[in-house]
A and B are shown apart, each in its own frame.
Chain A
Amino acid sequence: MRQAFVIAVADLRLMLRSRLALIGVATLLLLSGIAALTSATQMAAAAKARSAAQIATDEQFKAQPSRHPHRMVHYGTYALRPVGPLAAFDPGVDAFTGTVLFLEGHRQNSATFGAARESSDLVRFGQLTPAFVLQTLAPLLLVFLGFAMVARERESGSLRALLAHGAGARAILIGKSLALSAIAMLALLPALTALGWAATQHPGEAGIAALTALAYAGYLLIWVLGIVAVSALARTSQAALVTLIAAWALIVVLVPRAAAGWASIAAPLPSRVDTEIAIAADLRRIGDSHNPNDPHFAAFKAQLLKKYDVTRTEDLPFNYRGALGQEGERLTSQLFKDYAARADAIQNAQSARLAAMGLLSPALAVRRASMVGAATDLGTHLAFMSTAEAYRYDLVQRLNGLQASAVASADDTARSRDPTAEQRTRISADFWKTMPEFRFTPLNPAARATAMLPAMALLGLWLIAAIALLVLAKRRLEGPGA
């Protein structure tokens, strides 16, 4: 082991003297620093803007004047997806989804206003975030600094001299790996600082932050070991470099994109319009509130009349229109829920395919672990959407309930003909103040940590593969013709 340290120190000294290596490390640190700072300021600004917007929309709702409750159903409210606690480190899909959802009666809207749609086409070249630096840029820097580590010694003949002087192949490879690991640690530093800073803002996230740091450390270690192994296995440093750049392009650039394209075709998602048309058709079949002779609503009415032992809806102890609104909303919302569950299942299947492709690319595995940890993944967005839908349903049904209980049936029937009856259907503004506010909290840290495990396990497999490659390289060095 002492030998390994001696070799590691010698290699680091060599790198310190190499201007190119220093420039490379400095560039990475600079980029990492820029990424950490801009990402932190951007996400902090987004978090502030969204929570301010949520407060503003809640206040606007409560400040509405006296009016008919059905008007409030259409006035609706907005749900804003809060920024995840570690989003400054890895914003994940935040930019690629809408962040604002309009909640109203009878309709299920999509989330609108995301950063990607508000950016130029350059946004598709990748966003400079600490996670992007670690996933994409850091491995390439390690390739540049490490490709020649062993190959150079072989080309200059010093490898044979080292081996002849009793330095074991094992010590050489471990020493080189240690030296490159030191660089990897340095590369991790700014991003980890960003992660640590985010964790201090949200103390509950410290465990997740540590797990995320572990995932990235493992990811970079895979690269370190792989690079040293390839450098030892290649005949020339040129061959080592070309192989490693090809591997990098494949793992970091090609596979993630190809996998995403494949997943979108393999598990096609119905369009929003497909869903709207299907829901409209289903509604016409099971209960069409526009049709006065609709069997479902006729049965609903008959059942109510029977229950309260009256013959006319006007004699019911509540406003029938409110109850009718509740029944209509119940039917549409159930369909919204069913179709959303199907679409969510397809999206989750797409993402599962992407996760399985982590077998081909550790970059996909570490991205998954990182996004899940930061609560900036698809799952968090879908959870937000379904929480908002549940909230929408509850709000609309409360308002329909107010129409049933607080608006007189006779006034409600006459309001479109009689302005004074219309005035009486306007119920007190105080009711709006009793409505609950929208809150969304992502999965708790423990659940997210569990969800990170499959991706972490894939990284573990990759680490084993990298070690196996290094062992192979050691055998080759020990064999004849090293």
Chain B
Amino acid sequence: MSHLAREAWLFGRSRSAVLAVLLLALCAAASIALGLAIVAKDKAAIDRMLAGQPTEIAALTGFVKEAGDGAYYGFQPTWDPPSDLAFAALGNRDIAPAMLRIRALALEGQIYENETANPELALPGRFDLAFVAVYLAPLVLIALLHDLWSGEREAGRFYTLSALPLARQRLWVPRAAVRVGGVLMALLIPFAVGTFVAGTAPPRALGFAGLIMLVIVFWAAVIVLVARRGSLSAINAASLAAIWFALTLVAPATVNLAVNAAVPVPDGAALARENREDVHAGWDRPRGVTMQRFLALYPQHSAGGTVPPTFSWKWYFAFQHLGDLHVAAESRAYRDGIGRRADLARTAGFLLPPAGLAQAMAAMAGTDVSAQLTYQERVRVYHKRLREYYYDFLFSEKGFGPADLQGVPRFDPDRG
């Protein structure tokens, strides 16, 4: 312990080292503050949407006379609440919407909508703890550890120090431990404060802290391996910065290109257009054909399945749903393509630990691409419940009143 204390004292006397760690702590604290603010903003937006819903329903009550009106005009909120770790890894929540209001019309025309957002703010990437841990902390670690041995050699003390009995246990290990510990503290103390504010479940907080530690351990190992080779400090620093640069900037960007090239995703614009074509063709298709196809899927509504030659909501919503089914395979392929890209990127993460750990952080925080796809799946599940609620009214031709508007199924963020 006394060795650690001595090294900690020596570390404290190096102004540049203390400054570097303090700067890192400052960045980590700023990232946590920003993350918490952004999550609070997200939550407030969701709350505003939910708080506004009763007014929307009240307005509908004013003119909705039948189930079809409610199904057509009634937008229902769905949302993807930020998790208790989202503040530390904001992930893709800025480019994929966390809120979507949908109605019982064809879903393929609704589900790809985007949030209003300034793309210039998304372009540089997020400033969150995951970024500080994956990008900045390794650079600070490199600055602190690259001359662990070479610095002493260049100062002419190396052989004297190495000649000490048990030099490794008494000197090098405590020295490295103090520096790595300093970097870890700079990240983990602000994170701990963040988890306290966000009310993060302790096991999840520990898991995330574990990922941060893995990043630091990985880089400490790389740095020690390079620093022990006996080159000059400047060469060590340059090689390590080059390794950092390759692993953190160049390789992930290259892998992204390769993954996107390897896994084609169907053209979304064509998918949306095809959905519209089929939905609108419904107006001109013989009604019997539409109803027959629809009732094959919903035989329980066969009894009420006859439609008049004039406009009828059951016919209208039947062809809306058939429009979704018409592009179901393309839509599946579209989502699967994105999912496959995410899988490949995760696999690549095993070869590129910084990118892998960053993805693991976003995955644990529920802010990654997979979390977005899950949210979309839940919207789909909910849309089915919503449609089927209205089908019951439309096909049984029972009356639809204000109480039934209140009875419309509500979205459940955990299930859909």
Name A's B-contacting residues (CB within 8 A). 20, 24, 31, 34, 38, 49-50, 53, 56-57, 60, 65, 67, 71, 74-76, 78, 80, 92-93, 96-100, 102, 109-128, 132, 136-137, 140, 144, 147-148, 236-238, 241-242, 245-246, 249, 253-254, 256-265, 268-277, 280-281, 284, 290-291, 343, 347, 350-351, 354, 371, 377-378, 381, 416-419, 422
Contact = CB atoms under 8 A, between A and B. Distances in A.
Contacts of B160: none
A246 B120 contact: no
26 contacts: A56-B273, A110-B113, A111-B114, A112-B113, A113-B112, A113-B272, A117-B114, A121-B342, A122-B255, A125-B358, A126-B125, A128-B254, A144-B238, A148-B234, A238-B233, A241-B241, A245-B237, A253-B136, A260-B122, A265-B41, A271-B99, A272-B113, A272-B114, A280-B56, A378-B120, A417-B310
A280 B59 contact: yes
Contact of A125 (B45, B56, B248, B280): B248
B55 A281 contact: yes
B245 interface: yes
B150 to A, nearest CB: 9
Interface string B123-144: 1111110010001100100110
Given A110-B116, A127-B253, A249-B136, A78 B45 contact: no
B272 A271 contact: no
Interface stretch (B90-98, B183-191, B198-206): B90-98
Nearest to A249: B139
Contacts of B116: 110, 269-272, 275, 343
A394 B170 CA distance: 80
A276 B289 CA distance: 36
Contacts of A100: 268-269, 272
Nearest to A94: B119
Nearest to A128: B253
Contact of A121 (B97, B115, B232, B359): B359
Interface in B25-65: 27, 30-31, 34, 37-38, 41, 45, 48-49, 52, 55-56, 59, 62-63
Interface string B346-389: 10100000010011001000001100100000000000000000
Contacts of B348: 122
A258 B345 contact: no
A261 B280 contact: no
A258 B125 CA distance: 9
Nearest to B147: A238
B193 to A, nearest CB: 18
A242 B135 CA distance: 16
A139 to B, nearest CB: 11
B99 A273 contact: yes
Contacts of B372: 117
A93 B238 CA distance: 32
Interface stretch (B173-181, B256-264, B322-330, B390-398): B256-264
Tell which of A20, A236, A269, A422 has the most Cβ of chain B within 10 Å.
A269
Contacts of A111: 114
A242 B19 CA distance: 13
Tell which of A119, A148, A371 has the most Cβ of chain B within 10 Å.
A119
Contact of A257 (B96, B125, B344): B125
Given A78-B273, A121-B369, A262-B34, A257 B254 contact: no
A112 B241 contact: no
Contacts of A114: 95, 114
Tell which of B59, B91, B362 has the most Cβ of chain A within 10 Å.
B59
A416 B311 contact: yes
A257 B255 CA distance: 22
B234 A125 contact: no
A422 B238 contact: no
A122 B49 contact: no
B269 A117 contact: no
Contacts of B41: 265, 268
Contacts of B55: 277, 281
A242 B23 CA distance: 14
Contacts of A277: 48-49, 52, 55-56
Given A38-B257, A118-B265, A257 B131 contact: yes
Q: Which 4 A-B pairs have the closest CB atoms?
A: A120-B345, A125-B252, A93-B119, A113-B268
Contact of A272 (B115, B270, B346): B115
B129 to A, nearest CB: 12
A276 B256 CA distance: 35
B273 A422 contact: no
Tell which of B37, B255, B269, B272 has the most Cβ of chain A within 10 Å.
B269
Given A100-B268, A110-B113, A238-B147, A122 B121 contact: no
A265 B136 CA distance: 22
A272 B96 CA distance: 12
B34 A124 contact: no
Contacts of A378: 118-120
Contacts of A343: 116
A237 B233 CA distance: 9
A133 to B, nearest CB: 9
Interface of B: 16, 20, 27, 30-31, 34, 37-38, 41, 45, 48-49, 52, 55-56, 59, 62-63, 75, 77, 91-92, 94-97, 99, 101, 109, 112-128, 131, 135-136, 139, 142-143, 147, 151, 154, 232-234, 237-238, 241-242, 245, 248-250, 252-257, 259-261, 265, 267-270, 272-273, 276-277, 280, 283-284, 309-311, 337-338, 341-342, 344-346, 348, 355, 358-359, 362, 368-369, 372
A237 B77 CA distance: 60
Given A71-B283, A119-B259, A128-B253, 20 more contacts: A57-B273, A60-B273, A75-B280, A93-B120, A93-B123, A113-B112, A124-B125, A126-B125, A127-B256, A128-B250, A148-B234, A236-B233, A238-B151, A260-B123, A261-B127, A264-B38, A269-B116, A272-B97, A273-B49, A274-B45
Nearest to B266: A118
B236 to A, nearest CB: 9
Contacts of A245: 139, 142-143, 237, 241
Given A120-B341, A121-B359, A49 B113 contact: no
Given A96-B123, A132-B253, A274-B48, A120 B344 contact: yes
A354 B41 CA distance: 20
A416 B66 CA distance: 15
Given A123-B256, A270-B116, A96 B95 contact: yes
A254 B27 contact: yes
Nearest to B96: A117
Contacts of A261: 31, 34, 38, 121, 126-128
A273 B101 contact: yes
B211 to A, nearest CB: 14
Contacts of A275: 116
Given A80-B269, A100-B272, A112-B268, A260 B127 contact: yes
Nearest to A355: B120
A204 to B, nearest CB: 25
B272 A350 contact: no
Contacts of B342: 120-121
Nearest to A145: B238
A314 B45 CA distance: 46
B256 A122 contact: yes
Contacts of A126: 125, 249, 252-253
Contacts of B126: 124, 257, 261
B121 A263 contact: yes
Nearest to B112: A112
Contacts of A246: 20, 139, 143
A72 to B, nearest CB: 9
Given A272-B99, A354-B121, A378-B120, A118 B268 contact: yes
B122 A96 contact: yes
Contacts of B122: 93, 96, 116, 260
